[in-house]
Amino acid sequence: MNLYLISQEANDGYDTYDSAIVCASSFDEAREINPSGHWGRGYSGWCATPSQVTVVKIGTADDGVDPGVVLASFNAG
């Protein structure tokens, strides 16, 4: 498993996520992770589609780190 920095610039108002560090097995899997937990079910605080997510590999996860969000940056309003 790898660690990725995911970010988005499409939704940058209050109560939004701008980025997160996630654990995933691939770039594609990382791109599909939404820090708010869901896609397409109303306002999520993240971008509208995975195609708007930028993904950068930043390292390798230690054994035992579960796939998903490790740390997220949320801009409360």
- Beta carbons of 35 and 46 less than 8 angstroms apart: yes
- CA 45 to chain centroid, in Å, comes to 11
Question: What is the rounded CA–CA span in Å between residue 42 and residue 25?
Answer: 28
Confidence band for 68, pLDDT divided at 50, 70 and 90: very high
Domain that holds residue 54: 2-75
- CA 63 to chain centroid, in Å, comes to 20
Confidence band for 33, pLDDT divided at 50, 70 and 90: very high
Residue 12 predicted with pLDDT over 90: no
Q: How far is CA 24 from CA 9, 71, 77, in A?
A: 21, 13, 29
Q: How many domains does the chain have?
A: 1
